[in-house]
Structure 1
Amino acid sequence: MDLRYIRNNIHIKEEDQQRIKDFPVLIGGCGIGSYIAECLLRMGFENLTIADGDVVELTNLNRQNYTSKDIGLKKVFALQERLHSINPQAKITVFSEFINKDNHMCPK
């Protein structure tokens, strides 16, 4: 088992840990999604896709997983950088747009 996730073995079997490593997860929205993405990454999910068309604003900092250095950046890029600082090997794909029926990111 990857030493990064060795403490997970209390709750997650080794074969399950390996299974979730490449399991694809789509996170739509980087508000609460910013916390969910970090928790998933720390748990061992290393194949994350994140979509949001918004930018980080000062008013986001009290309730979202961003810092003052992120103000003005697209949320997906700020979050991608944060997640890669936690696990540089993770595959973090970002789409800097809102999910809607026109961009084929949700069912019509």
Structure 2
Amino acid sequence: MAIKLTPAALERVRRFLAAEPDALGLRFGVERTGCSGWGYVVDIAREAREGDSVTVQDGVRIHVDPDSLPMVDGTTIDFVRRGLNHEFVFDNPNAAAACGCGESFTTDAGKAA
């Protein structure tokens, strides 16, 4: 598994984890949403789940469930400022298309699902 956090994303995740000392790390995956099919889910990993793939980057554990992994493997997660907003941004080599509003994406595998 190859999920990568940019320095800005790594710093932001560390700030979230510092507020929850019992957290295991970051949980990253997808859920069905929007007009293209899949939306990213970023949360605190509070427990290990059966089948999770886990990678560690600079001491931060990143948990990905087995259903999400084929759709997010190879993704780089950044944290950017756009005007007054701050947000995670995803560079996913598996995304074949995205909806116009940027809320969801699809993969070639997702088209068949």
TM-score by shorter chain over 0.5: no
> Could you say which structure has the higher strand fraction?
2
Under a length normalisation based on structure 2, what TM-score does the superposition of the two structures give?
0.29
Ranked by relative contact order (alpha carbons within 8 Å, sequence separation 6 or more), the top structure is 2
> Could you say which structure has the higher helix fraction?
1
